[in-house]
Structure 1
Amino acid sequence: MFGSIIIDVAVGVAFVFLLLSVVASHINDLVARFMDWRSKDLDKHIRQMLSDPNLANKVLNHPLVAGLASKPGRTPSYIPSNTFALTVFDALVPASGNQTVVENVRAQVSGLPDSRMKEVVLPMLDKAEGNLEQARKDFAGWYDESMERLSGAFKRRMMLLSLIVAALITLLFGVDAIDLANNLYKEPGVRAALAGAAQTASKDTTTFNEAVKQIQGGGLAIGWSTLPTDAAGWLKKITGLLMTTIAVSLGAPFWFDLLRNISSLRGGGSAQATPAEPKK
């Protein structure tokens, strides 16, 4: 009996965290798209890689690259390595020149200002020994390595954004993880209703709206209607809010998978869906 209560409490808490994480994920995506971080970061990174404004402009305005952009005049958010290598070599030695000769590419690179690209690409071209395809392949590999670093920087920025958004959502809804768990433990009706809704939602994400309605009218200990009256109470409240913030920042996929696993302990099996925006 006690074990089933604990499982239901865990399911309910995980479900609330999942719903908050879905909201946070949508906000994160909206902010990233509005700020256009991916395309701006890629534009800046490519210009740093190529170290020559004219060459960078030729590459970014190349039809193969420009065609990947979501809107005309904007830098794409992603450029495949093979496409990037092809456009760089084409920008260095246009089709009107003898593009099949690596030495012509080497001559153009040698004329660029001293830079990291020059240091990396010249030995790369020498190693290719006149094989243009091999030279492009090696250049694409260098680009991939550079993109991994850029991707790491983007992920760190998104992690920071996720933490900030999670904190704002936690404060907006006043979700204290400690009070939430205590409330579910003490209220069998609320606990059972929320656990049942969570178990159903773990199988079918289209039921999220119904589950949200149950949360809003289910007597959960969320919001700011009751505030602590002493230092110990505030310490507990702040701790609970911090716990919620960290939990929400973990993301909806994390809580969806955990919810599936916990729900299976109640005999609910596993879900086949992935978290999505609640349908309206």
Structure 2
Amino acid sequence: MTSFPILDLVAGLIFIYFLLALINNSCIELYSTFIQLRAKMLEEWIRTTFAETAHAILDNILLSGLTAKGKSTHYMNGKNFAKAVAEQVYTAIQKEPATATTPSPAKPLGVSDIDGAIASTSFPEPVKKLLRNFVMKTHIQQKITDKMNDAEHFEEQIEQWFNGIMERLSGRYKRKTVWYTFFFATITTLALNIDSLQLANFLYNNPEARQKLAGAAYSAAQDTTYINKVNDIQQRAKALAKDTSSSDSVKQLALSLNRVVNEVKKEKTNMETTVATLNMYIPIGWPDKSFDLSIKNHGPCWGVVWFGLKKIGGLLMTILAICLGAPFWFDVLGKVANLRSSLKPEDKKK
């Protein structure tokens, strides 16, 4: 019999929350894959900002080559976006009637050429004004350094603007995923009937189950399988913050059809494995036997009320715990495991 039942109980609960958070993360990954939220937000911004010219920008070969025809792009490199926007300006220069001041194909474009062409584009007025500001900055930078020509300076300004917008879109995406996390945490908790109060009571009154679960929890803290899962979740979270400005993230986030199928199979397997692990240690699912016990102890009326209050409180505790995420609980589990292993043998005998 363990000398630290409360510590083992806490470790067991933390391990369960960690497993539930893994299930929740799999649900969010599947949902995000199917609805293509990142791609939709990116395309919505382009269409809102550039109006009738958005179609030409999205169809630009520099961008359309990154995704299948008819699909929204998950990824857009800042340099490619800048070239696609600048291409609309350069096209306007080519359409202008030939004059003595019109640059030849061999002559680099100057500030005056770019500024004059902006007015000829179909960009909305706010975008034209913004691009003219970039031209002014280009003129100033060109006086400071001669390392790049005016066109390169101009495209660099557009790229910096795009990267700043993408940081804001990433923030919007993260705020949306907070609600998805809560939604799927609620679904997971209700589907499996994981009541924290009932679970704590079960583990407290069942030493054998508590010890088995605690042992699994301490082992999981050093298990490379779980460590790799947590690292994968953290890497995906970091990729989200730069999925539109990093060349590495396209490999992770621009999902082809085969990648989607593989993701679905992977997350489905993860969920099934995690649920099976939970089933090994605790009673999960419906019906809830505690309802009959509540009626027996408190009577038909108060039994229902008491059961309802405890059930709502217990389920809500589980939902909030899941929302903290698998990396959080795995980190806490590691600290509890270290605390347990640091106890001296003579302390355990007391």
Smaller-chain TM-score range? 0.7 to 0.9
**SS at structure 2 position matched to 1:230:** helix
Question: Displacement, 1:221?
Answer: 6.5
* Aligned with residue 169 of structure 1, among 188, 195, 210: 188
Kindly report which structure 2 residues correspond to 1:124-139, keeping only aligned pairs within 5 A, or say none.
124-129=134-139, 131-139=150-158
Provide the rounded CA distance (Å) in 2 between the counterparts of 1:108 and 1:95.
6
* Aligned with residue 117 of structure 2, among 97, 108, 112: 108
Question: Displacement, 1:185?
Answer: 2.3
Kindly report which structure 2 residues correspond to 1:34-53, keeping only aligned pairs within 5 A, or say none.
34-49=34-49, 51-53=50-52
Provide the rounded CA distance (Å) in 2 between the counterparts of 1:3 and 1:134.
70
Higher relative contact order (CA 8 A, sep 6+): 2
**SS at structure 2 position matched to 1:267:** helix
Is the Cα contact below 8 Å between 2:8 and 2:210 reproduced in 1?
A: yes
Provide the rounded CA distance (Å) in 1 between the counterparts of 2:129 and 2:203.
63
Structure 1 portions without partners, runs of 5+: 269-280
Provide the rounded CA distance (Å) in 2 between the counterparts of 1:214 and 1:29.
21
Kindly report which structure 2 residues correspond to 1:41-80, keeping only aligned pairs within 5 A, or say none.
41-49=41-49, 51-53=50-52, 55-69=53-67, 71-80=68-77
Is the Cα contact below 8 Å between 1:66 and 1:73 reproduced in 2?
A: no
Is the Cα contact below 8 Å between 2:51 and 2:124 reproduced in 1?
A: no
Q: Does 1:250 align with 2:339?
A: no
| TM-score with structure 1 setting the length | 0.83
Provide the rounded CA distance (Å) in 1 between the counterparts of 2:73 and 2:336.
41
Q: Which segment drifts farther, 129-138 or 208-217? A: 208-217
Question: Displacement, 1:186?
Answer: 2.4
Deviation string 1:20-39 (CA, Å, 9 cap, x unpaired) is 11111111111111111111
Q: Report the equivalent of 2:229.
A: none
Q: Report the equivalent of 1:184.
A: 203
Is the Cα contact below 8 Å between 2:24 and 2:322 reproduced in 1?
A: yes
Is the Cα contact below 8 Å between 2:79 and 2:159 reproduced in 1?
A: yes
Provide the rounded CA distance (Å) in 2 between the counterparts of 1:196 and 1:238.
29
Q: Which segment drifts farther, 161-170 or 103-112? A: 103-112
Aligned length in residues:
265
Kindly report which structure 2 residues correspond to 1:1-280, keeping only aligned pairs within 5 A, or say none.
4-49=4-49, 51-53=50-52, 55-69=53-67, 71-94=68-91, 97=94, 100-111=109-120, 112-129=122-139, 131-204=150-223, 206=225, 213=276, 215-220=278-283, 223-226=286-289, 227=291, 228=294, 229-267=303-341
Structure 1 residues 158 and 133: alpha-carbon distance in aligned structure 2, compared to 1, 3 A threshold? same
Question: Displacement, 1:138?
Answer: 2.0
**SS at structure 1 position matched to 2:114:** helix
Kindly, what percent of the aligned residue pairs are identical? 30
CA RMSD of the aligned region, Å?
A: 2.8
Structure 1 residues 26 and 115: alpha-carbon distance in aligned structure 2, compared to 1, 3 A threshold? farther
Structure 2 portions without partners, runs of 5+: 95-104, 143-149, 227-269, 295-302, 343-350
Provide the rounded CA distance (Å) in 2 between the counterparts of 1:177 and 1:65.
49
Structure 1 residues 233 and 218: alpha-carbon distance in aligned structure 2, compared to 1, 3 A threshold? same
Give the letter for the 2:327 counterpart.
P
Provide the rounded CA distance (Å) in 2 between the counterparts of 1:185 and 1:14.
14
Give the letter for the 1:267 counterpart.
S
Provide the rounded CA distance (Å) in 1 between the counterparts of 2:273 and 2:48.
50
